[in-house]
A = this chain, B = another copy of it.
Amino acid sequence: MLLHLQTWQEVEEYLEQNQGIIIPIGSTEQHGPTGLIGTDAICAEVIAKGVGEATGALVAPTVNIGMALHHLAFPGSISLQPTTLIQVTQDTVSSLAAAGFQRFFFINGHGGNIATLKAAFSQTYAHLANLKLPHADQVRCNVANWFMCREVYQLAKELYGEEEGSHATPSEVAVTQFVYPEAIKSAFLDKEVASGHPIYSAEDFRRHYPDGRMGSNPGLATPEHGKQLYQVAVKALSEQYLKFLDR
């Protein structure tokens, strides 16, 4: 169930049975010479929809822009500052918690969002307690990174081994190829690809990762892989979501 395709009265009925909601969050940032700028949002959104179908959960609209300050030296990248994303998260969760939602399951497509989301959850719990919202103490948030599910990780390793890398990976590119086969890109991909340098400033990132990839070979991606990865992720996250609801 997609929240944006419901009426408020349908949401009211849903809440009588269920206080969980899934919030896909991605990023809008460079993904190397062949990766789409929307990769992280596309993956999070499609997988969240799949989990929503599998579990009957309501799925909120996708947060398309995340914390990607380190990618800003590449054109087309957009980032919120961490404090902005904290405020966006708090406003979002607070709006829904006031209506009765209690379980917020963020399906995340971007490693750079994790730290800020966790900080945001802490700040939001305290904010809701300060507001004396009834059941503030029942509100729980969780960030579930599809690419870090054990099953997804294993499949990626099987398919790509070391060439999976850590940004602009063949696995995330494959999922976007599965979703948007009409937007499969080809471009020169140097066999030599930088890796292992930690992430600091945007300028430093571009200096160390000149084409945007971090140790990955996205040339290995296929739409068929994407479908497999999608299915594995939906299955794993559906189980996680149901457990989260029951906790």
Question: Which chain B residue lies CB-closest to A128?
Answer: B201
Q: With A5-B183, A69-B125, A119-B115 in contact, is A203–B137 under 8 Å at CB?
A: yes
* Chain B residues with CB below 8 A from A74, complex form: 8, 99
Partner of A119, one of B30, B116, B202: B116
| Residues B4 and A38 in contact, CB atoms below 8 Å apart | yes
* Contact residues of A between 97 and 154, Cβ < 8 Å to B: 98-100, 112, 114-123, 125-126, 128-132, 136-142
In whole Å, how far is A102's beta carbon from the nearest beta carbon of chain B? 10
Instruction: Check if B122 sits within 8 Å of A70, measured CB to CB.
Output: yes
Determine whether the beta carbon of B212 is less than 8 Å from that of A8: yes
A36/B5 in contact, CB under 8 A: yes
**Closest beta carbon of chain B to A217's beta carbon, Å:** 16
Chain B residue at minimal CB-CB distance from A84: B87
Interface residues of chain A, those whose CB is within 8 Å of chain B, are 2-12, 15, 28, 30-38, 41-42, 60-65, 67, 69-70, 72, 74-84, 86-88, 91-92, 95-96, 98-100, 112, 114-123, 125-126, 128-132, 136-142, 180, 183, 185, 187, 197-198, 200-204, 207, 212, 247
Q: Which 8 A-B pairs have the closest CB atoms?
A: A4-B38, A11-B76, A61-B64, A115-B118, A8-B30, A82-B119, A125-B201, A75-B99
16 A-B residue pairs with CB within 8 Å: A6-B36, A7-B30, A7-B33, A7-B35, A8-B75, A10-B185, A28-B61, A62-B64, A64-B64, A65-B92, A69-B123, A78-B92, A78-B96, A81-B123, A115-B116, A139-B201
